[in-house]
Structure 1
């Protein structure tokens, strides 16, 4: 089911709007005016409804809010503010709010329901810096569509939010969030594939520092005039996904002991990273009479850095992904190595690449570009490491690209080091996983690009040089 950035940003905007400030009497009217102005600046329409004052309490009823581009609406039955003294105001609003989203075109209509339990919202501070202290026993957001049938619910329990709102022309939000537990559930049925998934995440905490961003201001975010950053940590995670598809049916259970990560777009640079500890997968095939098989990973890491802004000089980009301590259950090993001839030590993979790149068009319009939208100035293999079944491969290298030619001509070198590779290949041939003729061909080809290393008999090294004249050398011998 297509769930566009527009749907995501609308849901985020609604979640923010439903926790916006209202203060009692004169101060209440001032801040509500700021709130309504902020919604209008984001492209929403606001009909404030009826306002009444009773002692230290101010109430607004039947507030009608329209989403940007007339793609939906919702009504707040009431918003109520009670002055507590000392410049503090307690806010209250309906425990359930229903929103209808109609993105038009090919995207499906959606219904969103926001539910809160045991919520308190205290606002304090001056006009230039509003403080929001929110606690709730539960906050849940449920989304559903009908074509195809899809539903998703995300609920946080024992929530504590501390936020400071500043800025006039560009609202800015900074603060922290904690939740004892986050629950996630979704169900999808597109007529061919049925999928149900549940997840639970304990001890969630996050910090955020961001300018207000919506679809209309994405160009400012990409250009670097607006910034945002979020970091998070969480404890134990568990999940289960049940899939029934035309070619397979399975249940996948997952768990991890902890995870942390961050996401930011600062000065036009996208940066995403995360680490998960003690990740485990257990797979049960429902339509095949096989016992469950499992895999465990001690640590998994991901890092992506990508410039988004269009500038004259190339900017750094990077992608890193890998895992350490991968172990497979005996059920998995038994499928292709029933005799136990392969070493079964934990495997490791690390891929770490970087580059200098330059956008030739605005990144937001890259999909419509008639030619290559981005130019790569140089690339570097910081590290490629694979250790599995008794073999270990390591690689590094870098190259400068000549973009005057097409495809661009690289100038540089790549170095590779392989230990235990021949022995692993022989075992794979003996197991029938690699045909003997192909195994011999691989050995012959490796002889063209590798030379013996200095660490034992099963050690191969290779140095590939790419020159400006287009020639390629392998260990000093020309191959092109």
Structure 2
């Protein structure tokens, strides 16, 4: 497990999954439960000291130090007060800031030490429920993480860096169920988040400035973690009892940047009107899906003769693969979409000054799914040598092209289909598992695009003739003008056919 992952797990444990505050229990019992929860993550912890003062238990000096190769993290948790409110609930307040120190002693380190401070404004946590199902509500006017200090690597000049992320208007609810498998659900809203980043390097005449605002953020999630999990083994997170599912959505977002180096200045911005990301981990699988709406990018630079403006209706991606060894087939997913992509005429004119090509919005979208199983645990460092010895760490059983759409420059390609693979037959296709299935394609406007490329001088006549002959071999005329269809199939005998004509 990487150093960043260890740190993230520890923080999540401390302020999320570990906040198992029992109704009608003493603050000492609450603190004892937190310590047991932190022990799940295998960190070398300093549990600090506790002092009872009336109805409150004050906890101070909690922290840990962890080392991973040349990296070291020193974390100092805030002092806290846990107060029995006398009504079956416990209130938790943070009395000091968080401090996190990151050290890097590698020869190529960009810095020697960086100290981050997390502060809060009117943070409050109230926990209710029962030992079997604990509910706690969290509010804060703001939580701010900022770079407190950064020290240069040996031999480097001092760094002038500022960085901060402020989350404003926080409201959240957590539901925690203790047990052999600790479960948690969360639902958090944030009014907005403000990002600021600035770097100045006078010796190299470099300046970097980035500002961002993200509005209406919602974070949701469900986790299940065995209490005896070995967090030092990344593969443990993908066991049968482990599960992480969640993500975020946010509304409008806007980022601006300014970069200068030796008199060359570039500036611009990026905006979007809605973004979502979903993540799932567990049962040997990791998957990510995301999408952004109404994305616009602009940039101006004294190195370019004109500004750059790009827009798209949406951008999306999907990626899901098995990562742990399993005897069972697991889902595979790969997808990418760029819809209604538009760029300025000034960019078009670079390669099409006479405006021969249609300049309609372009779309590229592909959706692939399938079934496969891993032959090794790719997250296990001890199996790294084994991965190098096998031809492939994954065995694919099925792959489906659910949809394919390409629309650009007056031409359109669509398609779908699917194949199964016989992994016991590696002879028919020279070491590749024998496929069986078909893919169907339709191309509209291909000949028109070729004519336009010839008119632009980008495609010589002889090469255009070769392209038309190739299309004639693999495609047949379809319904409508300048329409071609193609059915490529592999039968159970390993024969490859195009529109019924055998090619192999």
TM-score by length of 1: 0.87
Task: Figure out how many residues of one structure are paired with residues of the other and give that number.
Answer: 474
Bigger Cα displacement from structure 2, 35-44 vs 437-446:
437-446
Per the alignment, residue 297 of structure 2 pairs with: 281
Separation in 2, partners of 1:110, 1:128: 41
Is contact 2:78–2:96 with CA below 8 Å preserved after alignment? no
**Alpha-carbon displacement from aligned partner over 1:161-216 (angstroms, at most 9, x marks no partner):** 11122224443221210000022345679989976543221000121111348843
Query: 2:59 aligned with 1:46, yes or no?
Result: no
Query: 2:392 aligned with 1:391, yes or no?
Result: no
Query: 2:485 aligned with 1:461, yes or no?
Result: yes
Alignment counterpart, residue 199 of structure 1, candidates 212, 222, 226: 212
Separation in 2, partners of 1:12, 1:220: 13
Bigger Cα displacement from structure 2, 70-79 vs 416-425:
70-79
- The offset of 1:317, in angstroms, is 1.2
Is contact 2:217–2:250 with CA below 8 Å preserved after alignment? yes
Separation in 1, partners of 2:367, 2:286: 17
Separation in 1, partners of 2:356, 2:503: 36
Alignment counterpart, residue 210 of structure 1, candidates 207, 223, 234: 223
**Alpha-carbon displacement from aligned partner over 1:398-427 (angstroms, at most 9, x marks no partner):** 222232311223222222111111111221
Query: 2:128 aligned with 1:127, yes or no?
Result: no
Bigger Cα displacement from structure 2, 76-85 vs 370-379:
76-85
- The offset of 1:322, in angstroms, is 0.9
- The offset of 1:158, in angstroms, is 0.8
Separation in 1, partners of 2:373, 2:331: 9
Separation in 1, partners of 2:247, 2:325: 26
- Give SS of 1:361's match: coil
- The offset of 1:351, in angstroms, is 0.3
- The offset of 1:79, in angstroms, is 1.6
Query: For the aligned residues, what is the CA RMSD?
Result: 3.2
Separation in 1, partners of 2:363, 2:369: 20
- The offset of 1:308, in angstroms, is 3.4
- The offset of 1:436, in angstroms, is 4.0
- The offset of 1:312, in angstroms, is 2.3
**Alpha-carbon displacement from aligned partner over 1:272-327 (angstroms, at most 9, x marks no partner):** 22222111111323423x22121211122222232334332322212122132222
Q: Name the CA shift for 1:53/1:95 in 2 (closer, same or farther; >3 Å).
A: closer
Separation in 1, partners of 2:24, 2:61: 18
Alignment counterpart, residue 420 of structure 2, candidates 369, 379, 400: 400
Is contact 2:22–2:131 with CA below 8 Å preserved after alignment? no
- Give SS of 2:465's match: helix
Bigger Cα displacement from structure 2, 222-231 vs 470-479:
470-479
Separation in 2, partners of 1:192, 1:267: 50
- The offset of 1:62, in angstroms, is 2.6
Unaligned regions of 5+ residues in structure 1, if any? none
Per the alignment, residue 445 of structure 2 pairs with: 420
Bigger Cα displacement from structure 2, 95-104 vs 158-167:
95-104
Separation in 2, partners of 1:25, 1:47: 27
Query: 2:145 aligned with 1:141, yes or no?
Result: yes
Separation in 2, partners of 1:464, 1:173: 49
Q: Name the CA shift for 1:25/1:381 in 2 (closer, same or farther; >3 Å).
A: closer
Separation in 1, partners of 2:205, 2:321: 36
Separation in 2, partners of 1:77, 1:116: 11
Is contact 1:45–1:68 with CA below 8 Å preserved after alignment? no
Unaligned regions of 5+ residues in structure 2, if any? none
Alignment counterpart, residue 344 of structure 1, candidates 333, 337, 359: 359
Per the alignment, residue 192 of structure 2 pairs with: 181
TM-score by length of 2: 0.83
